[in-house]
Amino acid sequence: MAQDARRWQQLRAGDRQALAALVEGAYADVYAYCCRHTGDAHTAEDLTQDTFLRFWAHLDAYRDEKKLKNYLFTVAANLCKDWYRRKKALSVEELPAEPPAPPGPDADLALTVRQALAALPYAERDAVLLHFYHGFTAREIAAITRVPLTTAQYRLRRAQKRLQTLLPKEAFL
């Protein structure tokens, strides 16, 4: 946390090396998040780049210096939400591919999970991606998505219940 505060000071002072270090350290996570939302590598790259551009342009607007990663994901979440509103719905073919799995039951299960995620409403899918793929707590998800903690918790629980009906039992092992 002290490292984030120091990095904030460097960034606010216009230190481009600090920005380069931030981009290098967080790009892959932000890109993966955007890719899971859009299902398209090129769109995800654009959204990821826009995330860092907006982060840099609006650096002074954010006050919680202890949560640098949360701020990046807040910007990315807003951009993905805007993209989703324009796009409306994803088809299974447009879903992001996880790293190639060998043919067999694991590949089938991966496709089934992708289909189940696509069936979730946007807010629930977002909560699942942030929690299970990126390790954020419900409190952090609430901050990123700018909803009350109870709403973030509800979305996670609701998504888990829906996924339990959509996925085979072996997906939960």
CATH number at 33 reads: 1.10.1740.10
Together in a domain, 11 and 48:
yes
Distance in angstroms (rounded) separating the CA atoms of residues 127 and 122? 9
Once rounded to an integer, what is the mean pLDDT over residues 13-24? 85
By residue range, what is the domain housing residue 44?
Answer: 1-96
Among 67, 96, 125, identify where a domain stops.
Answer: 96
Distance from the first to the final alpha carbon of the chain: 34
Together in a domain, 12 and 64:
yes
Once rounded to an integer, what is the mean pLDDT over residues 151-162? 95
3-state secondary structure of 159: helix
Together in a domain, 8 and 92:
yes
Q: Average pLDDT over the chain, rounded to whole?
A: 82
Together in a domain, 86 and 103:
no
Q: What is the pLDDT of residues 92-110, one digit of tens each?
A: 555 555 544 444 456 667 7
Q: Which of 54, 33, 53, 56 minimizes the C-alpha distance to 43?
A: 33
Once rounded to an integer, what is the mean pLDDT over residues 162-171? 81
Distance in angstroms (rounded) separating the CA atoms of residues 12 and 60? 7
Domain count along the chain:
2
CB 153 within 8 A of CB 138: yes
Distance in angstroms (rounded) separating the CA atoms of residues 107 and 16? 42
Percent of the chain scored above 70 by pLDDT? 80
pLDDT of 49 strictly over 90? yes
